[in-house]
A and B are shown apart, each in its own frame.
Chain A
Amino acid sequence: MKKTIAVIFGGRSAEHDVSIITAHTPIIESLLASGQFDVWPVYIAKDGSWYADKQMNDLEFFKHPDFESRLLRQKKVQLLFDRGLKIIWPGMMQKTVHIDVAFPAMHGTFGEDGSLMGLLRMAGVPFVGCDLFASAVSMDKMLTKHVLAAEGIPVVPYVWFTKYDWEKDKKIWLEKITALQRPLFVKPVHLGSSIAIAKVKNDTELENAIEVAFHYDDKVLVEESVENLIEVTLPIIGNDEPQLAAIEKPRSKTGFFDYTEKYLSGGKKGGGGVNNEYSEIPANIGEDLTKLVLDLGKKTYLTLGCSGIARVDFLIDGSSHRVYVNEVNTLPGSLYVHNWKRAGVSGVELVTKLVTLAEERFKSQQETIYTFSSDILSKSGGSKMGE
């Protein structure tokens, strides 16, 4: 019998549209191609409403010029946590579908940041990808750096502050930033897909970039730019024993990956939203650097407690050959399926493996004891406890 799987995408995030692409190519298409799953697309609109309709298994549904009005005609669904996750279409002819596995395909806020994972944990349903804690830490570039640095994993020197801090006294922070070597990068700490990230060379550019970043986030990171930059990325899958794909090097035109380059630059035939042509796979960075990147990638994945899938991004100084972990993406755009295909893992093999990993992790969590019997309630109510 086919397993029922809910692919959850969209969401209240700047990367809402990217999420739709990831959900369809490759996740839904590969799940359907496997013939092993009854696939329910669960779409979260920008206003936070939840919908589920098999028509949404086709990406064309979202490209239709009449999309908004077609969506309004759809019935919003409800969720029920009853020994697992159930989707309910309320009404006179109420319909309920039990979900065996959830496949989050959301980028950014309210999805990739751990929010959705928390909800799925509460529901008690196996779900694909990193769990709540790894997702929340990885979504915050500052927290990621703190955790990695504590484990001796090299990261680029940085300064971080909140919107409140900045508005309260810019000067303090601009002074702290002077300790960093220019040029600098300004980044909102929670956004992915390189949205609102800017490279700056002087104070005017710096202040402008910080202001822009605060439009998207309440916490901003300013870090040194690695010059003679070689930017590489490493997709990883697995739970306790991570499996590494090939190191990938972008053929960047703009100095670093921006949103346009990642998702829109001629990737029509990319078979996965991400443009295949922009990358060198495997990256030709020499044996020593390759080994170092693979080791750091694996260590980073395990340190952050990643499971299922993630992608670790690195910055390499081409002159000194120093390697820094830049950030971790717990839901790589389109799962980086183009890279996995080069490594001999097809789209179908990738998604079915991720489902298996989700089930294994869930099983292991089920074996963990979270509750136990106690007589604390019967003893309460009289004299103060602890007395």
Chain B
Amino acid sequence: MIRSFLSRYHPRYIRSLVYMLQASEYDVRDYLKWYHRTKDFTHVERRKSLVKTGKVLLLLGMAWIVLLLLYGAAIFLWWQSDALFASLLGLILLLLTPFLLAYLIVIPLGIIRFFIQLPVEYFLLRRTQQELATHKAVKIAIAGSFGKTSMREILKTVLSQGKKVAAPPESFNTPLGIRKFVNGLAGNEEVLIFELGEYYPGDVAALCRLVNPQWGVITGVNEAHLEKFKSVDAAAKTIFELADWLGAQPLYINGESNLAQKNARPGDLIYSRSGVGEWKVEDAKSDLTGTSFVLIKGNTTFQLHSGLLGLHQVGPLAAAVDIASRLGLSAQEIERGVAATKPFAHRLEPRTDQSGAVTLDDSYNGNPDGVKAVIEFLASLKDHRRFYVTPGLVEMGRRSEAIHREIGKQLAAAHIEKVVLIKNSVTSWVAEGLREVHYDGEIIWFDDGLSAFAALPHLTVKGDIVLLQNDWPDQYA
């Protein structure tokens, strides 16, 4: 208690505040939520550390000036005035300075945002909108609570076999990210693929106005970002702003996401591990070497194999095949395209260490549907000792306890041998879920992710499978 109070007077306090603003992408709401939740400000930079950009240096400089001014004023009042009231005021100001600073620090941020960032963004986005409106490429937009990046990469890989395709790298799914991407276009692209990120109502509609898509894919709706949306219905409504924009133009919807399918309109194309449209999936199999299935429509049959892991990948692959087929790719190009798909960075990405243990890095997958799919995949891997390592999922809002208990139950039902939990505010619910259904494996606890990662090579042997599920950024500490 005293230690956490004193941590506000630690020289590192200002750096911690600025770091968290940067980690929250300067979202004041997220920053303030973190501030109100945090008790100890001395050990904030755990997973990452402050990157000294121009903005950060400006904020650090201003914060120190404000801090010194406040302390100066407090000391002046305390020592220079004979009046008891003024001395008392000085003392109170001295004590409150760190608290005031935490709020005052966002003022320059607001000034920068309203007077510099927003006008520049407005100008840049207008230009992006005009350039994309005249670009002849087919524009495909992907929206959803989860699976957008995987869908983008699948589409990009498959369609690239017969078309000139471009898609923003990494998670360039904000307006400025898209601007950066459009800047680099050659102009002769035949297909452009965009991820539409959603944090608040209206986000997807705004991005649709910017991108002007003719095709759409909705990868699913779930509790991701629930803290911001407050309800899953609000998230669904925001994601389906893409459907509103497209009208009668083709929209693919992931049929394995109940919340997405519930909002589908007649005429939308539902994809799942059973097929898409008239395409039917047969003989789907998945193991550590990849996923294979047969796709049949009338007289056309594709024997497909992808390097992606898990049967939940069959639906998105089938959707990509249908889109490729409609865009005129040949059978050979489609088969080659699917064969070229392989696990993406940190999304069920396998690597084998020297002792022969296989790590499946799924650290970018932090949503309940993704978790369910992965546990299903782990359950299908027999004759291996399986380790499931997780710090839990973030931003699950009021559903957090229920979701984490459910994960525990799913892990128990899949008979995962070892569940490795990182201590934080949610993992005790996973443990409770496991115990509730009399889990017969072992629960291993670690204080933080780094100590778990250091210990894992010493816990595993040849043939073991270690699944790393999700990451736990510092702002959720």
Other-chain contact of B355, A30, A33, A341, A349 (Cβ < 8 Å)? A341
- The verdict on B244 contacting chain A, using a C-beta distance below 8 Å, is no
Q: Is the CB of B458 within 8 A of A346?
A: yes
- 1/0 per residue, CB under 8 A from B, across A20-53: the answer is 0000001001101111000000000000000000
Closest to B446 in A: A35
Interface centre among A269, A271, A342, A346 (most CB of B within 10 A): A346
Give the Cβ gap from A366 to chain B, nearest Cβ, in Å: 31
Q: Which parts of B383-429 form the interface with A (CB within 8 Å)? A: none
Residues of A participating in the B interface, judged by any CB pair closer than 8 Å: 26, 29-30, 32-35, 269-271, 276-277, 338, 340-349
Give the Cβ gap from B104 to chain A, nearest Cβ, in Å: 40
Interface centre among B354, B444, B460 (most CB of A within 10 A): B354
Q: Is the CB of B460 within 8 A of A346?
A: yes
Closest to B462 in A: A342
Give 7 nearest A-B pairs by CB, closest first: A33-B455, A347-B458, A341-B355, A30-B458, A33-B458, A341-B461, A276-B354
A selection of 30 A-B contacts at a CB cut-off of 8 Å is A26-B458, A29-B454, A29-B455, A29-B458, A30-B458, A32-B454, A33-B455, A33-B456, A33-B458, A33-B459, A35-B444, A35-B445, A35-B446, A35-B455, A270-B354, A271-B354, A271-B355, A276-B354, A276-B355, A277-B354, A338-B355, A341-B355, A341-B357, A341-B461, A343-B461, A344-B462, A346-B459, A347-B459, A348-B455, A348-B458
Residues of chain B within 8 A (CB-CB) of A269 are 354
Q: Is the CB of B457 within 8 A of A271?
A: yes
Q: Is the CB of B445 within 8 A of A342?
A: no
Residues of chain B within 8 A (CB-CB) of A341 are 355-357, 460-462
Q: A271-B353, A342-B462 are in contact. List 9 more A-B contacts (CB 8 A).
A: A26-B458, A29-B455, A35-B444, A271-B457, A276-B354, A342-B461, A346-B461, A347-B458, A348-B455
Residues of chain A within 8 A (CB-CB) of B446 are 35
Closest to B445 in A: A35
Residues of B participating in the A interface, judged by any CB pair closer than 8 Å: 353-357, 444-446, 454-464
By DSSP majority rule, is chain A's interface helix, strand, loop, or mixed? helix
Docked pose: A271 CA to B457 CA in angstroms: 8
Closest to A339 in B: B355
Docked pose: A346 CA to B341 CA in angstroms: 34
Docked pose: A345 CA to B444 CA in angstroms: 17
Docked pose: A54 CA to B36 CA in angstroms: 35
Give the Cβ gap from A347 to chain B, nearest Cβ, in Å: 4
Residues of chain A within 8 A (CB-CB) of B355 are 271, 276, 338, 341-342
Interface centre among A29, A33, A277 (most CB of B within 10 A): A33
Docked pose: A340 CA to B462 CA in angstroms: 9
Docked pose: A27 CA to B299 CA in angstroms: 62
Docked pose: A160 CA to B357 CA in angstroms: 46
Residues of chain A within 8 A (CB-CB) of B356 are 341-342
Give the Cβ gap from B136 to chain A, nearest Cβ, in Å: 49
Q: Is the CB of B445 within 8 A of A347?
A: no
Residues of chain B within 8 A (CB-CB) of A35 are 444-446, 455
Residues of chain A within 8 A (CB-CB) of B353 are 271
Residues of chain A within 8 A (CB-CB) of B354 are 269-271, 276-277, 338
Residues of chain B within 8 A (CB-CB) of A349 are 461
Interface centre among A34, A277, A347, A349 (most CB of B within 10 A): A347
Docked pose: A33 CA to B456 CA in angstroms: 8
Residues of chain A within 8 A (CB-CB) of B459 are 33, 346-348
Residues of chain A within 8 A (CB-CB) of B458 are 26, 29-30, 33-34, 346-348
